[in-house]
Amino acid sequence: MSIIHALILGIVEGLTEFLPISSTAHLIITSKFLGLTQSGFTTFFEVFIQSGAILAVVLLYFRYILAHQKYVRSILLSFIPTALVGLILHDTIKTSFFTSPVLIYSSLIVVGILFIIIEHLVRMKKFSLTKHVEDISLQEALIFGLFQALAIVPGVSRAGAVMVGMMVRGYKREEAAVYSFLLAVPTLFAASALDLLKTDMSLLTNSSNALALLIGFTVSFLTAYIVIKWFISYLQRNTLTIFGIYRIVLGATLILMH
């Protein structure tokens, strides 16, 4: 992997990790267009650079968590379903889900349609978005964790799945986005740790590989930091419809090109 490849993938990770458009799908698609073959290192790289995005969340919301420590219990409860599914299906996810272009492209389209339907129902006043993160019950925390677990399928989007689950329950878009950010911390940290345990450590002692990891991590952090702040501001005045349209157009285009 070259420095340019690491730079591009870091930008893609930072741009897409916290937007409801699936960072995993975008990394897989980008790697394919860059001509990168999947190997032990590239697989680990794509997971490791998520740590940069995690750091952006930690820095942005550290004081927020200190002021609202009761949220930690909800976040940990939401993390449980994802952790269980990830542990049980880890090998299947890596060997089957990640290697199925049709599954990835179809997931982009299906969730995009779901965004548009939900926003239409909100516009028709079938349900209202009025609840805040502090309203989350323990039962809801588990439910939102189950929604996040759906993101084991590349293309679904971890952030998108959590936001859909919370909006259906009446939570404000920006509140759902913040909760998805906070839930990402244990989720992505656990995913990175699990992949590290399964990685041949000799791959990480190579100087060029180490440089690629450093670049990808740093660029991912900087990009995610900017995107998170923009996304919350955007959701205070706008809907998820544009992201739904983007997903549908991207997925359909990729299917036609496949």
Give the pLDDT band (50/70/90) at residue 97.
Answer: low
Token pair recorded at residue 31: 């790697």
Q: Is the dihedral of CA 84, 188, 12, 162 positive or negative?
A: positive
Contact between residue 53 and residue 221 where contact means Cβ atoms under 8 Å apart? yes
Give the best-scoring range by mean pLDDT among 41-50, 57-66, 73-82, 218-227. Answer: 218-227
pLDDT value of position 99: 65
- What integer is the mean pLDDT of 225-229? 96
Ranges of each domain in the chain: 3-257
Give the best-scoring range by mean pLDDT among 93-107, 146-160, 228-242. Answer: 228-242
Task: Quote the pTM value.
Answer: 0.89
- Residue whose C-alpha is closest to residue 153's, from 84, 98, 228: 98
Cα–chain-centroid distance for residue 191? Answer: 12
- What integer is the mean pLDDT of 217-223? 96
pLDDT value of position 117: 96
- What integer is the mean pLDDT of 129-133? 92
Give the pLDDT band (50/70/90) at residue 6.
Answer: very high
pLDDT of 226 higher than 90: yes
Contact between residue 115 and residue 164 where contact means Cβ atoms under 8 Å apart? yes
d(CA 124, CA 98) in angstroms, rounded, equals: 37
Residues with Cβ within 8 Å of 82's Cβ and at least 6 positions away in sequence, in order, are: 145, 148, 149, 151, 187
Q: Scanning the structure block, which residue is given the tokens 């989007």?
A: 157
- Tell me the pLDDT tens digit for each residue of 102-125: 889 999 999 999 999 999 999 998
pLDDT value of position 166: 96
pLDDT value of position 89: 72
Token pair recorded at residue 73: 């219990």
pLDDT of 192 higher than 70: yes
d(CA 169, CA 137) in angstroms, rounded, equals: 11
pLDDT of 241 higher than 90: yes
In the chain, pLDDT over 70 holds for what percent of residues?
93
pLDDT of 199 higher than 70: no
Please report, for residues 19, 125, 223, 225, the alpha-carbon distance to residue 13 in angstroms, rounded to integers and kept in the order given.
10, 35, 8, 11
Give the pLDDT band (50/70/90) at residue 174.
Answer: very high
pLDDT of 1 higher than 70: yes
